[in-house]
Structure 1
Amino acid sequence: MFSVTPQLFFLMGLSPVICIFLAIWIIKSSSGISILPKAELIKFAFIAYIMVICSLSFFPVAYDTSLDAPQYTPQNFNLVPFHTIVGVCSVFFAKEFSFYYKVSIFGYNIASNLFLFIPLGFLLPSVNKKFIKKSLTAIFSILFSCIIEAIQYAETSFGLAPGVGADIDDVILNLLGTLLGLIMWISFYSSKKNLLQKG
């Protein structure tokens, strides 16, 4: 059995990214090309963030190296909008469940999908100002989320990551988190611009 943990994937991926950024920095410096450290750091933060999302979404993965594995076992997935959200909310307000169980279910199904994508909405316009447009940011978030859900479904179907399903509500929550991050970015830079003008 071969297993890849989120931490292992992140560390394996981060090392070459750091090397590539350093190599580009050295080449630009030696060629006399001006380097904006803030812009480069933002790009690095964006790539590192994407790697964190991929690490948490796709791993751990356990691959059975025996000849008769993995086997294809199709899993159910939810394509009904708000079905999971309503179900989690009904559990949260039900009296028969413990408070710890309610918080864990709410955190795993709703809060995690919402808050994990707030940095995406904040980083996208920082990397490229075109993403100030809510429609463009929304399209990127939806496509990115759909790719994640498709890969998770494939992993579960082939027994690589049991317990991970595909849910349209995850895409909805990811989108809301991204737009919230974008609103925070707009508010932050609007406030910063106003302070500079007053100063």
Structure 2
Amino acid sequence: MGYFIEKEFLVIFVIPLYLIVSGIIIFLKKKKGEKVDSFREIVKFGFVLYIIALIGVTLFPIRIGYGRQSITMINMGINYIPFKSIIYDIGQIGIGSFSVGFQIKLLIMNVLGNLILFMPIGFIVPVLWKKVNSLKDIVFVGFIASLSIELLQLLENFLNIGFFRVVDVDDLILNVLGAILGYMAYKLAKLVVTKYKIKGQKCR
């Protein structure tokens, strides 16, 4: 018999650890007379919460004490052909016992879910790291983050320590597109804020 490590473990363990470490760093900065950017600290904490949620959704729960999957099962859980899964899901609409509406809803949720999942990366990363401030940088960060998750899911499948997940290049593509959409939202928000500041200065 085995047991599960649920995603709540991340919340219980990581958040207090982050708050303690962050509190010590802020204390030391203030002691040295260095300025602490409150807005940046809030955004950093929000980003940590996002990373915890991302890991929890994509990699947890973790199963301990179960046997390995067969190599055949692992191979069945890999799609490296772009848009194959999406095209297959579209082709399955109207087939089987599920209603057409439910199948369409499931397809939309899968596509939108993968897009929305990575939008915070495109929005928050440029705020926290000024040097990561181009579309190329965001595509690279989104790609590495998504690829890391897919590879970890593959490892989980091989070790049989997580629920069986399909390691899918479509997820990788949608995640990167989500990061790009987040970056576009960031640029738009930055433009609005800049115009607001300029307008406010002219009114004075």
TM-score of the pair, normalised by structure 2: 0.87
Q: Write out aligned runs for 1:50-199 (5 A).
A: 50-64=51-65, 69-74=66-71, 75-76=74-75, 77-92=78-93, 94=94, 97-98=98-99, 99-107=101-109, 109-199=110-200
The 1-side partners of 2:12 and 2:173 are apart by: 29
Question: What is the RMSD of the two structures over their aligned residues, measured on CA atoms?
Answer: 1.7
User: How far apart are residue 70 of structure 1 and its match?
Assistant: 3.0
The 1-side partners of 2:124 and 2:161 are apart by: 31
User: How far apart are residue 125 of structure 1 and its match?
Assistant: 0.5
Give the letter aligned to residue 174 of structure 1.
N
Secondary structure of the structure 1 residue equivalent to 2:4 = strand
Secondary structure of the structure 1 residue equivalent to 2:132 = helix
CA contact (8 A) 1:88 1:106 kept: no
Secondary structure of the structure 2 residue equivalent to 1:34 = coil
User: How far apart are residue 90 of structure 1 and its match?
Assistant: 3.1
* 1:55-79 residue CA offsets vs partner (Å, 9 max, x unmatched): 1111011111xxxx53252312000
* 1:7-35 residue CA offsets vs partner (Å, 9 max, x unmatched): 22233211101111111111111221111
Equivalent residue for 2:28? Answer: 27
TM-score of the pair, normalised by structure 1: 0.89
Q: Write out aligned runs for 1:33-44 (5 A).
A: 33-44=34-45
The 2-side partners of 1:95 and 1:197 are apart by: 57
**Percent sequence identity over aligned pairs:** 24
User: How far apart are residue 39 of structure 1 and its match?
Assistant: 1.2
Give the letter aligned to residue 20 of structure 1.
V
CA contact (8 A) 1:2 1:63 kept: yes
CA contact (8 A) 1:29 1:35 kept: yes
Give the letter aligned to residue 150 of structure 2.
E
Q: After TM superposition, where is structure 1 displaced by more than 4 Å over at least 4 residues in a row?
A: none
Give the letter aligned to residue 35 of structure 1.
V
* Structure 1: runs of 5+ lacking an equivalent: none
The 1-side partners of 2:163 and 2:7 are apart by: 15
Secondary structure of the structure 2 residue equivalent to 1:80 = coil
User: How far apart are residue 103 of structure 1 and its match?
Assistant: 1.5
* 1:96-138 residue CA offsets vs partner (Å, 9 max, x unmatched): 641234323431x322111111111100111112222000110
CA contact (8 A) 1:63 1:70 kept: no
